[in-house]
């Protein structure tokens, strides 16, 4: 049933639904208090049958172009805005009617997730959170291609937030939108964790989306831990992957370490690239020490390196690969970087695993990817 040139993504969004220039419904960069979900069908190659698509997907150089487009989008449901409070004899409480609507919406969303899980033997969900200046369509195309090359295991979920305003003030708008959306992503993750059929959750975030994802995970962890100071695991959250993270190094270090976030997941993987000009521009704008997405081994003290070697669940991957001018989308545009990401998600193995991800250590801390990664040996 999944052997087709179409990919049916389950999307979740708090973008506002408006009309585009053709008068058709479209999710824009504007913010919505309602969290919606639905089906987004991406077509990989017009008129290609499954065998032809597989053949083109395996070629190093394709014989003909494979255009990728969003074929249609259908909203399936919405969560109510809120919560709303009501005054009782005991004080302010959540309005019962709102709580009932929220519960019904959550159950309907979980039923849709379960319907999709029933189509695949792997009961994992792969949640992709895009970054700065990305519209709904771009994010959908990237998630569809990632899932296609997994290959089509589990359920792909696109979490798309109100980014992509553009213009001189676009970065400031997207930055505030990334703060606006954290609560909605947190609710989405809660619903997935509580979904009985979901066995593992893989949360993959890019660029500004890494702030959204890490903030949501941090808040979930605080909720779960309550007043305890002990490290706890978030149920079902297996991989947290932060790609080209647009986060200040000092801020991220404090935010993640203070609440023991790396211990809340099975594995935390961070992909960095020194050639990432988009991250470099963000660092210039905010006058930080260095953005997380451009870290080098020399940025760490010997004590920090020692601690990093002890925490095996945290893995830094340095992409020393060819990139385009901005150098920000290497995780899907560079074959070596995308191969490692796919191996991580498909096989769920650590960096340095010779049977899966034969990366080499650099300065005892970083794992290095070069353009010849996974290339067959020369005989």
**In sequence order, which residues have a C-beta less than 8 Å from that of residue 299 and are 6 or more positions away?**
249, 290
- Where do the domains of the chain lie, and which CATH numbers do they carry? 93-370 (3.40.50.1820)
Find the mean pLDDT for residues 83-94: 77
> Where do we find the tokens 């959306």?
181
Show the tokens assigned to 131: 């970054």
Contact by Cβ (8 Å): 116, 148: no
| Residue 117 pLDDT exceeds 80 | yes
pLDDT band at 240 (very low <50, low <70, confident <90, very high): very high
- Give residue 361's pLDDT: 87
Measured over the CA atoms of residue 247, residue 281, residue 320 and residue 57, the dihedral's sign is: positive
Show the tokens assigned to 52: 């032809």
Over residues 149-180, the pLDDT tens digits come to 998 999 999 999 999 998 768 889 999 999 99
Pairing mode, if any, of strands 85-88 and 124-129? unpaired
Rounded CA separation 143/159 (Å): 10
Rounded CA separation 156/147 (Å): 6
Rounded CA separation 70/89 (Å): 52
- Give residue 288's pLDDT: 63
- Give residue 289's pLDDT: 63
Residue 201 DSSP SS3: strand
Pairing mode, if any, of strands 314-320 and 267-272? parallel
- Residue 106: name the closest of 179, 23, 22, 196 by CA: 196
What phi and psi, each to the nearest 5 degrees, are found at residue 232? -135, 160
């Amino acid at each position: 049933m999944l052997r087709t040139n179409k990919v049916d993504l389950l999307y979740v969004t708090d973008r506002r639904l408006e009309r585009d220039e053709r008068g058709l419904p479209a999710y824009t960069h504007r913010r919505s208090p309602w969290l919606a979900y639905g089906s987004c069908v991406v077509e990989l190659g017009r008129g290609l049958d499954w065998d032809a698509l597989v053949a083109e997907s395996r070629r190093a150089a394709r014989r003909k172009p494979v255009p990728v487009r969003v074929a249609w989008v259908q909203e399936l449901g919405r969560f109510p805005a809120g919560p709303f409070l009501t005054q009782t004899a005991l004080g302010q409480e959540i309005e019962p009617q709102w709580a009932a609507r929220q519960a019904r919406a959550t159950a309907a969303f979980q039923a849709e997730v379960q319907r999709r899980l029933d189509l695949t033997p792997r009961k994992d969900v792969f949640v992709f959170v895009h970054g700065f200046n990305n519209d709904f369509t771009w994010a959908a195309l990237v998630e569809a291609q990632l899932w296609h090359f997994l290959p089509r295991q589990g359920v792909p979920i696109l979490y798309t937030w109100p980014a992509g305003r553009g213009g001189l003030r676009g970065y400031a708008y997207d930055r505030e939108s990334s703060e606006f959306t954290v609560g909605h992503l947190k609710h989405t993750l809660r619903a997935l964790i509580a979904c009985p059929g979901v066995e593992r959750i893989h949360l993959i975030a890019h660029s500004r989306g890494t702030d959204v994802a890490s903030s949501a995970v941090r808040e979930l962890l605080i909720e779960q831990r309550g007043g305890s100071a002990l490290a706890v695991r978030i149920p079902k959250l297996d991989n947290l992957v932060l790609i080209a993270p647009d986060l200040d190094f000092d801020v991220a270090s404090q935010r993640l370490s203070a609440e023991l976030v790396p211990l809340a997941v099975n594995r935390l993987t961070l992909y960095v690239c020194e050639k990432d000009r988009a991250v470099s521009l963000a660092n210039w704008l905010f006058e930080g020490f260095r953005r997380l997405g451009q870290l080098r081994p020399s940025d760490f003290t010997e004590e920090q390196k020692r601690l990093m070697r002890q925490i095996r669940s945290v893995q830094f991957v340095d992409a020393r690969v060819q990139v385009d001018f901005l150098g920000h989308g290497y995780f899907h545009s560079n074959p070596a970087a995308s191969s490692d990401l796919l191996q991580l998600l498909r096989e769920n193995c650590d960096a340095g695993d010779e049977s899966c991800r034969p990366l080499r250590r650099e300065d005892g801390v970083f794992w290095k990817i070069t353009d010849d990664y996974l290339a067959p040996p020369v005989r």
